[in-house]
Amino acid sequence: WKESRKQVKQLKAEKQALRKSPERKVGQVLLAPYLLPKRLVHGIRKRLPRGKKSAAPANEYQKWFEAHRTKSSDLGPLREESRAFGYQPCISIITPVFNTPISWIEGCIESVLNQVYEKWELILIDDDSDNAELLKLLPELAARDKRIVLTKSEKRGGISAASNRGLEVAGGEWIGFLDHDDLLEPDALFQHVKWLQDHRDADLIYSDEDKLTEDGLDSPIFKPAWSPDYFLSCNYICHFTIVRAEVLRQVGGFRSEFDGAQDYDLFLRIIEKTTRIDHIPRVLYHWRRSRASTADNIRRKPGSLETGRLALEAHLERQAARGHVTVDWRTHAYWIKRDLTETKPISIIIPVRDRVQLLKRCVESITRETTYAPYEIVIVNNDSETEEARDFLSSTKHRVLNYPGPFNFSAINNFAVEQTENPWLLFLNNDTEAIDGDWLTIMAEQIQRVEVGAVGPRLLYPDDTVQHAGIVVGVGGIAEHAFRGFPAEAPGVCRQLQVTRNYSAVTGACLLTRREVFNKVHGFDEERLPVTFSDVDLCLKIRRAGYLIVYTPFARLYHHESGSRRRTVEPMETGVMRERWAGVLENDPYYNPNLSRERADFSLGN
């Protein structure tokens, strides 16, 4: 009897410990509204003690997420909707397992059982685990649903070998990847298959994600639509991703030599085969942050950074793109330094009206700092009146063009293009100032790429805060500069201030393009957009013509903004933009719709 009392007391203590465990608290917050009917999950729930829900303190994001996730009352109707889909592919979910904590693997599998889209299979690959409790539990977990397949590696081979074993077993038309300690939202598969109803040609689809921590949900990653240059800076696609099985067969699955960055290597090979890459702007995946995970801190697995760098180097080699990859240790992202195949002549076009001190500083900084050659400086004089300006313009060794009449930024630059012959064109404000010697070389590395139509640098105010790091359209009215006012070296949200990425537009204060691209889109609109938004309009026309717009933070200049002219916004120009670009103003592909529409700082929206 004493022994029985002792066992009861011990069981009560264990029960209390489980109640207070952070994993249980987070699991209750995350899954409570989405539990399957009791008859389906009784085998899981009977393992855990009953008790009242205990939610971790909700941060701002967690509150936002709870308000924006699919409501539990909507899951039934979504299930019915999915049963009526005209296209209902089977999605094989690949989940390698190795000594996973019991509560984590149970939560992972339960999140798959919770899926409202029912045509799936979950393939669990035991990579030679030696945890006795897990080994006993895995067959029980697999027996809970006929769609769960359990297979085992003959010997421990690592994440890539185990994933490839899963691919061998998979019978689905689409393949999804789920880590053994992470969780899917109940509508994760539904949202992907719903997208496929109208986008049947997609080959890879990815969603947004967040982190699952001991304190709840945090650190959301709200991703842009497909941004090739951002992807070459970091694997922002990550989770949750499904890939057409046929494409995976073409690229050959995972490669063990890239373990630690195996998904990055796989995706790099996929984008060499297809550009049909789509994005669902919903948080559908919860990446568990643990001490052993790169979700917590990439520094915990420094080898993954090097492996990712090698994967990028291999990608460049396959693409016959000359250059090398370095790790930017401030952000733990990558910087591809491309070799210039040819240093083509650049015409640097600088409009000016008086304010000669600004012009002097600009020109002197270019000639003093710039290591790129050859280039010419073309100053376009728009009716300067001061004696100082006339003296400077008459004595400078640089080429001077005269454009009389009212200030029309678009017309002045179009005129200068007509008067020059160089194949590359840099439009530059007279109130800018070069900081580093390689600024123009770095921009030239990007504009030499045939797929790129325009390049913009990081522009800083004199107090070393950000003036320009790309342009987001449809925010704050028509357009806003990204990360304006941030400290110059701040990473920005998801490191996006300090990495090369794509935008819908970059500023005309310093914009490099190729002459054939500029002519193809008929230059600046001098009739309807004489000053404001002319640069945004130019970039949107370049994008419409099929080119990428690239922002590089590694080229830096100071911008003494509007030191020569006061910035005004005319109603006519605003109306033109709304009429001409209504679609992109409503949904900038490079700015997630869940983010703020008031500020282009990548902060959480309403």
The pLDDT score that the predictor gives to residue 330 is 86
Residue-wise pLDDT tens digits, 231-242: 999 999 999 999
* pLDDT top residue among 243 and 329: 243
Q: Determine the average pLDDT of the residues in 53-62.
A: 60
Amino acid at 548: L
Q: Determine the average pLDDT of the residues in 196-213.
A: 96
Is pLDDT of 59 > 70?
Answer: yes
State the Cα–Cα distance between residues 392 and 360, nearest whole angstrom.
Answer: 8
* Environment class of 449 (CB within 10 Å of its CB; exposed 0-12, middle 13-18, buried 19+): middle
State the Cα–Cα distance between residues 549 and 586, nearest whole angstrom.
Answer: 19
pLDDT category of residue 214 using cuts at 50, 70 and 90: confident
Where are any strands of DSSP class E within 112-203?
A: 120-126, 148-152, 174-177, 183-184
The pLDDT score that the predictor gives to residue 116 is 98
Return the closest-CA partner of residue 192 out of 179, 175, 171, 170: 175
The pLDDT score that the predictor gives to residue 43 is 36
Residue-wise pLDDT tens digits, 22-45: 444 444 445 544 444 333 333 333
Residue-wise pLDDT tens digits, 446-474: 999 999 999 999 999 999 999 999 999 99
Is pLDDT of 527 > 80?
Answer: yes
The pLDDT score that the predictor gives to residue 10 is 55
pLDDT category of residue 283 using cuts at 50, 70 and 90: very high
The pLDDT score that the predictor gives to residue 37 is 37
Is pLDDT of 144 > 90?
Answer: yes
HEC profile of 202-244: CCEEEEEEEEEECCEEEEEECCCCCCHHHHCCCCCCCCCEEEE
HEC profile of 475-541: CCCCEEECCCCCECCCCCHHHCCCCCEECCECCCCEEEEEHHHHHHCCCCCCCCCCCCCHHHHHHHH
Task: Quote the longest CA-to-CA distance of the chain.
Answer: 108
Is 46 strand, coil or helix? coil
Same fold, 60-297 and 346-586: yes
Q: Determine the average pLDDT of the residues in 76-85.
A: 98
pLDDT, averaged across the chain: 89
Let me know: does 281 contact 587? Beta carbons within 8 Å: no
At the topology level, CATH places domain 60-297 in Spore Coat Polysaccharide Biosynthesis Protein SpsA; Chain A (3.90.550)
Q: Determine the average pLDDT of the residues in 234-253.
A: 96
In CATH, 346-586 is 3.90.550.10:
yes
What does pTM read for this prediction? 0.88
- For residue 133, the surrounding DSSP H or E stretch is helix 132-142
* pLDDT top residue among 181 and 53: 181
State the Cα–Cα distance between residues 42 and 144, nearest whole angstrom.
Answer: 10
Using the structure block, give the residue that is written with the tokens 């270019």. Answer: 366
Is pLDDT of 409 > 70?
Answer: yes
Is pLDDT of 595 > 50?
Answer: yes
The pLDDT score that the predictor gives to residue 103 is 94
Residue-wise pLDDT tens digits, 260-271: 999 999 999 999
Let me know: does 110 contact 185? Beta carbons within 8 Å: no
Q: Mean pLDDT lowest for which of 13-22, 194-203, 419-428? A: 13-22
The pLDDT score that the predictor gives to residue 389 is 94
State the Cα–Cα distance between residues 116 and 197, nearest whole angstrom.
Answer: 16
* Domain ranges, ordered by start, for the chain: 2-45, 60-297, 346-586
Residue-wise pLDDT tens digits, 552-585: 999 999 999 754 444 556 678 999 999 999 999 9
The pLDDT score that the predictor gives to residue 570 is 67
Is pLDDT of 395 > 60?
Answer: yes
Where are any strands of DSSP class E within 329-422?
A: 333-338, 346-352, 375-381, 399-402
Let me know: does 64 contact 604? Beta carbons within 8 Å: yes
* pLDDT top residue among 86 and 38: 86
The pLDDT score that the predictor gives to residue 173 is 98
pLDDT above 90 as % of the chain: 83
Is pLDDT of 157 > 50?
Answer: yes
pLDDT category of residue 282 using cuts at 50, 70 and 90: very high
The pLDDT score that the predictor gives to residue 9 is 56
